[in-house]
A = this chain, B = another copy of it.
């Protein structure tokens, strides 16, 4: 692991690091905010998964999250959204390839063997983090925005013991049934739709649900709301009687101005679970 930068931030440290990932077979860069409390021992970890076109950097600089994480004594992890580099397949469109890993393990060429963001986020990066930093593996939660909200919800439901709480800003709620999703799941996982279901939050919610609290915020003026398919997830939550708060926020759009507006709520929501 190599340190690219460390800046003091809200009495803690906002670091950026790079490491060789087995899961992707590439160098991967991530951001980590460690609150001051990490100097005295392991702190809870909140994973933030970013959306299409983002790197590790967007949320780290635009979401205002460190302020509230510092107040709560919680670490924030900001992984990248895909493998990158010259030997890594890409697509001219913004919604496939680099910057658009969709948090799956690709089985189809040319995306296999590098596009294994599910393994990267759930296995590879945790292995490194809990080794190198004062982080408590028994206290993890996860959230994300857009494609990253999809990633957070699907990982939380697929790994029931792992995360204490899950939340999402404007998540892709039903990628197996939406424009943002069908294209990528076909490309990464192939035509057999039965392979897609563990990467669809609405299908997972209908089948398994989540053994902990769930918080979803979506702006009523989200310019991509048709692609998000919030009604599929709302229905599944209601039918399952899942412990959840599902909010349509009047007037907000898909941007980080929306994300930052509710960041404090989300971090405090996770803090309740992480300190329970």
The answer to whether B67 and A7 touch across the interface, beta carbons within 8 angstroms, is no
Closest Cβ of chain B to A23, distance in Å, is: 29
Interface-side segment among A151-159, A181-189, A251-259: A251-259
Q: Which residues of B contact A9 (CB under 8 A)?
A: 257-258, 260-261
Chain A contact residues, CB within 8 Å of chain B: 7-11, 14, 61-62, 64, 66-67, 219, 221, 251-253, 255-258, 260-261, 264
CA distance A244 to B61 in the complex (A): 30
Q: Which residues of B contact A64 (CB under 8 A)?
A: 64, 67, 260
CA distance A257 to B31 in the complex (A): 13
15 more A-B residue pairs beyond the given contacts A7-B258, A8-B252, with a C-beta to C-beta distance below 8 A: A8-B219, A8-B221, A8-B253, A8-B258, A9-B258, A9-B260, A11-B261, A61-B61, A61-B62, A64-B64, A64-B67, A64-B260, A66-B261, A67-B260, A67-B264
The answer to whether B8 and A257 touch across the interface, beta carbons within 8 angstroms, is yes
Given A67-B264, A264-B67; A256-B8 close (CB under 8 Å): no
Q: Which residues of B contact A261 (CB under 8 A)?
A: 8-11, 66-67
